Amino acid sequence: MSKQKPQRRPETRAVHDGLDFRDQTGAVVPPIYATSTFLNGNRGGFDYTRSGNPNFNNLEAVLAGLDEAEFATSFSSGVAAITAVVSSLKLGDLIIAEENIYGCTFRLFHQVFEKFGLRVLYLDLTQPSSLDKITFMQPEMVWLESPTNPLLKVIDIAAVAERTRQAGATLLVDNTFSSPLVQQPLTLGADLCLSSTTKYVNGHSDCLGGVVCTNDERWAQKMVFAQKALGLNPSPFDAWLITRGVKTLGARMERHAKNALQLARYLENKPGTRRVRYPFLPSHPQYQLARRQMRSGSGILTVDLGLSLKETRKFLQRLQLFAFAESLGGVESLVCHPASMTHASVPKEVRERVGVTDGLVRFSVGIEHVDDLIEDIENAMEGVKHEKSACIPSLARS
């Protein structure tokens, strides 16, 4: 109707949504409701923090808005959000999952839920034959990430959504690597959008969180049930921190993407580099699709520096601005080494076949000045080269 408020843009909503419960003090920022329980019959309808707290409501309001969702449920971590969704399935249900999914999701499927009779089939969802399998196998759920970790494969969410809908299944997209400011899976046809808010949404590497957004009321009820029945709720303080962090998501994602694209171009032109993967580089295999479904390339890029395992380790140790650590999506740049960290348990031949080579490194590009980041990489590479020539004089470059 004409009286309706104009739909504000995501950057604005990130700042202005989720501000209820400011109480009578005039506080511009809502306080932290550090309480386990609530007086019976209160106006907010709260009873016990495991099943709801004003700080969860504020966080859920802003996150639902950013994903164009009617409902959002907050959890204590991304893994807790995954647990909430998977625990809603039943014995014998089949999930078709993208084969390049996050390691902890794979571990949870394999080491926990398969014990209870969950079946999971892993497929490369960039292949048309995999989409045919969705039609043929009639799974209960299809599970994907895009871009994937660490190879940044981009999956056509709208195409998978169409097939999933025809099969009467539920499509879940783990949107952690993009954030809602880069990609909105629900608008592309996904039923559930899950994020580890630990990463870009909070953006400051100072707490864990997760969220599931949906327009399907039945799924929303299942998520609320899982939050309280399984004890997957966040703490009020963490919910408050993420509500604070998300305010700058618009500005941060712009800067992450700008820095990452510049760094990707620099690395691609650097002699000796084997392969740079970044969704918004024209050399990316799904470049056109990425341009269609993402607003930017986000802040993660992977590169094979063409170094041996030993040299790669030296390179990582010599970086000063890129902290050598797991995780991603914070304001500070991080670097990780998939072959020895996230994929260490995968046999070397299998790793190499899927592209996780010894020389592969993954950068989570922060919001620092990009010239400092480039200098940091240059200096670390110089160090590796010098040692190389010192040890093997016959190979020293003139």
Ligand X SMILES: *Cc1c(COP(=O)(O)O)cnc(C)c1O
Q: Which residues have a Cβ under 8 Å from the Cβ of 356 and sit 6 or more positions away?
A: 150, 151, 338, 339, 343, 346
Residue 79 lies near ligand X (rule: CB under 6 A): yes
Coil, strand, or helix at residue 393? helix
Dist. CA 362–CA 235, nearest whole Å: 31
231 near 50, Cβ under 8 Å? yes
Place of tokens 């292949």: 127
- The residue count for binding ligand X (CB under 6 A) is 16
Coil, strand, or helix at residue 243? helix
Residue 17 lies near ligand X (rule: CB under 6 A): no
Residue 208 lies near ligand X (rule: CB under 6 A): yes
Q: Active site includes 278?
A: no
Closer CB to ligand X, residue 328 or residue 381? 328
Candidate list 199, 252, 255, 362, residue with the active-site label = 199
DSSP 49: G
DSSP calls for 199-221: TTTT-SSS---EEEEES-HHHHH
Closest distance of CB 208 from ligand X, Å: 5
Rounded to 5 degrees, what are φ and ψ at 15? -85, -40
Nearest residue to 262 via CA among 375, 358, 151, 112: 375
Give the binding range for ligand X (CB under 6 A) out of 74-82, 108-116, 297-305, 351-359. Answer: 74-82
DSSP calls for 83-125: HHHHTTS-TT-EEEEETT--HHHHHIIIIIGGGGT-EEEEE-T
Give the binding range for ligand X (CB under 6 A) out of 194-202, 225-233, 256-264, 338-346. Answer: 194-202
Within positions 102 to 141, which residues make up the interface with ligand X, using CB under 6 A?
102, 104-105
Residue 196 lies near ligand X (rule: CB under 6 A): yes
Closest distance of CB 78 from ligand X, Å: 2
Candidate list 22, 47, 50, 295, residue with the active-site label = 50
Give the binding range for ligand X (CB under 6 A) out of 57-65, 73-81, 160-168, 345-353. Answer: 73-81
Residue 145 lies near ligand X (rule: CB under 6 A): yes
Give the binding range for ligand X (CB under 6 A) out of 98-106, 248-256, 282-290, 297-305. Answer: 98-106
Residue 74 lies near ligand X (rule: CB under 6 A): no
Selected binder of ligand X within 53, 74, 77, 312 (CB under 6 A) = 77
Closest distance of CB 345 from ligand X, Å: 17
Candidate list 13, 33, 67, 102, residue with the active-site label = 102
Dist. CA 151–CA 303, nearest whole Å: 9
Distances (CA, A) of 21 to 27, 44, 55, 59, 71: 10, 9, 8, 12, 19
Closer CB to ligand X, residue 198 or residue 227? 198
Coil, strand, or helix at residue 173? strand
Strands 300-304 vs 360-364: parallel, antiparallel or unpaired: antiparallel
Selected binder of ligand X within 156, 174, 304, 311 (CB under 6 A) = 174
Residue 83 lies near ligand X (rule: CB under 6 A): no
Residue 210 lies near ligand X (rule: CB under 6 A): yes
DSSP 36: S
Closest distance of CB 174 from ligand X, Å: 5
Give the residues lining the site for ligand X (CB under 6 A). 77-79, 102, 104-105, 145, 149, 174, 176-177, 196, 198-199, 208, 210
